[in-house]
Amino acid sequence: MATLKQAFDRLRTFALRYPESSEDHPWGETAIKVKGKTFVFMGVDKERLGLSLKLPHSREFALEMHAFTKPTPYGLGKSGWVTAEFFAKDRPPLDILEAWIDESFRAIAPKKVVAAMDEKKPRPKKILPRA
């Protein structure tokens, strides 16, 4: 089982793979930004891992279906931001968190950045039926 620090490191690395992303450290937390706008706030210590992300499409599902989520404080929850918290005994669902990082990036990044990123993805090959 991954430690909270290992989960943090994996999610941080995942977020920094996005085009034009950078890292900042306001308020002692890690903020991953695209073009100067934060798309994920992260923090970790020995007892807690926390992430806040903008989820315009899956916010309601995230809040209803996952006990580890809550609306982000400071009025951000009203704007679609969700906070996920995990403690030492928890196993963070990294696949879900990576999907949420992707959703948050796409919500915050300029449309041109997202379009350029999507153009670079390999397109699936068409499989033609055999005659």
Q: What is the pLDDT of residues 45-98, one digit of tens each?
A: 989 999 999 999 988 888 888 788 998 887 666 677 999 999 989 999 999 999
How many other C-beta atoms can be found within 10 angstroms of the C-beta atom of residue 130? 4
Q: Is the pLDDT assigned to residue 124 strictly greater than 60?
A: no
Question: Which segment of 16-20, 62-66, 97-101 scores lowest on mean pLDDT?
Answer: 62-66
pLDDT computed for residue 131 by the predictor: 52
Among 49, 58, 54, CA closest to 92: 49
pLDDT tens by residue, 109-121: 999 999 988 887 6
Q: What's the CA gap between 124 and 71, in Å, rounded? A: 37
CA-CA distance, 16 to 48, in Å (whole number)? 21
Which residues, 6 or more positions from 76, have their beta carbon under 8 angstroms from its beta carbon? 52
Domains of the chain by start residue, with CATH:
4-120 (3.90.1150.30)
DSSP at 20: T
Amino acid at 33: K
Residue-wise over 2-28: b if at least 16 C-beta within 10 A, else e?
A: eebeebbeebbebbeebeebeeeeeee
Please name which of 91, 81, 86 lies closest in space to residue 58, comparing C-alpha atoms. 81
pLDDT at residue 80, rounded to an integer: 79
Cα–Cα distance between 12 and 29 in angstroms, integer? 12
pLDDT of residue 72: 84
pLDDT of residue 118: 83
Is the pLDDT reported for residue 123 higher than 60? Answer: no
